[in-house]
């Protein structure tokens, strides 16, 4: 089970360990975002520090209806105790964990300040 906490702003936060191809790693706090269909967003400075390889370029429609271009990289995370290769989208915004990484898992959040976030395999 993966656990985290709900902030005073009612955002579910968990910590994820992200690895680059040469063993570089970072532990980052990410916001669980059910409106994001990808796996993970990181700013370019963190992507570069991990040495993640570029895989593709894409276009996304944001919640406000605008479109943006973004780059997708390949990284590895520790997910439910196991290494998992994922797509990491470059975004100069809050670090997000999306539905692509939650597929096959149950997400439970106690939506109060200091509530628990629990993610378990289905």
Confidence of residue 66 (pLDDT cuts 50, 70, 90): confident
Question: Which of 40 and 70 is assigned the larger pLDDT?
Answer: 40
Q: pLDDT value at position 70?
A: 85
| pLDDT one-digit tens code per residue, 74-112 | 999 999 999 999 999 999 889 999 999 999 999 999 999
Q: pLDDT value at position 10?
A: 97
pLDDT at 64 over 90: no
- Domains (range + CATH), the chain: 2-121 (2.40.70.10)
φ, ψ of residue 44 to 5 degrees: the values are -55, -35
Structural tokens at position 94: 């809050």
Structural tokens at position 57: 């370029």
Q: Which residue has the tokens 């895989």?
A: 55
Q: pLDDT value at position 40?
A: 97
pLDDT at 62 over 80: no
The pTM for the full model equals 0.88
DSSP string, 39-104: SEEE-HHHHHHHTPPEEEEEEEE-TTS-EEEEEEEEEEEEETTEEEEEEEEE-SSS-EE-HHHHTT
| pLDDT one-digit tens code per residue, 27-46 | 999 999 999 999 999 999 99
Q: How far apart are CA 112 and CA 56, in angstroms?
A: 38
């Amino acid at each position: 089970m993966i656990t985290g906490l709900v902030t005073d702003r009612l955002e579910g936060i968990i910590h994820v360990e992200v690895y680059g191809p040469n063993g570089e790693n970072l532990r980052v706090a990410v916001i669980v975002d059910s409106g994001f269909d990808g796996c993970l967003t990181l700013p370019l400075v963190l992507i570069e520090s991990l040495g993640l390889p570029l895989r593709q370029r894409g276009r996304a429609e944001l919640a406000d209806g605008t479109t943006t271009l973004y780059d997708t990289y390949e990284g590895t995370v520790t997910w439910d105790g196991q290494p998992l290769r994922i797509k990491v989208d470059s975004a100069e915004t809050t670090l997000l964990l999306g539905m692509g990484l939650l597929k096959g898992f149950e997400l439970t959040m106690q939506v109060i300040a200091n509530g628990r976030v629990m993610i378990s395999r289905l």
